[in-house]
């Protein structure tokens, strides 16, 4: 096997991000916020779109915010939630694909990664 050393910091950051995404509900919340774009959604709209509400939504938003993936901002009487870590999400995808087929004698053609 041709293992390439992954810097500990990259590995720790990736593990932390994956841990934050380790829930179907959190993935649903993040996906809804990514779809909403930089304007974000009010906490009420986010709950309606995902079916996750109340203290459960608050809990998931806290975990996603601690991972640096989302923000919450009070605007008037509303709390606006937004995905902010588009570059980090892209990086986490690249982390998975960085060494795609590195140990294969016959790399898969058309796997979409350079």
Edge to edge, what strands does the sheet with 78-83 contain? 41-42, 78-83, 70-75
For 39, list phi and psi in degrees, rounded to 5.
-70, -25
Q: What's the topology of domain 24-97?
A: Arc Repressor Mutant, subunit A (1.10.10)
- State pLDDT tens for residues 22-54: 999 999 999 999 999 999 999 999 999 999 999
For 67, list phi and psi in degrees, rounded to 5.
-80, -5
Q: Which residues 6+ apart lie within 8 Å of 88 measured at CB?
A: 17, 68, 69
pTM above 0.85, yes or no: no
Contact in structure between 32 and 46 (CB atoms under 8 Å):
yes
């Amino acid at each position: 096997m041709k293992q390439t050393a992954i810097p500990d910091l990259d590995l720790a950051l990736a593990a932390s991000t994956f841990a934050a995404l380790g829930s179907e509900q959190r993935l649903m919340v993040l996906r809804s916020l990514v779809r909403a774009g930089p304007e974000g959604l009010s906490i009420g709209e986010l709950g309606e779109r995902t079916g996750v509400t109340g203290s459960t939504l608050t809990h998931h938003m806290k975990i996603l915010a601690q991972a640096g993936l989302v923000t919450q901002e009070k605007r008037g009487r509303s709390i606006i939630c937004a995905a902010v870590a588009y570059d980090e999400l892209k990086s986490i995808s690249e982390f998975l694909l960085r060494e795609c087929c590195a140990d294969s004698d016959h790399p898969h053609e058309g796997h979409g990664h350079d």
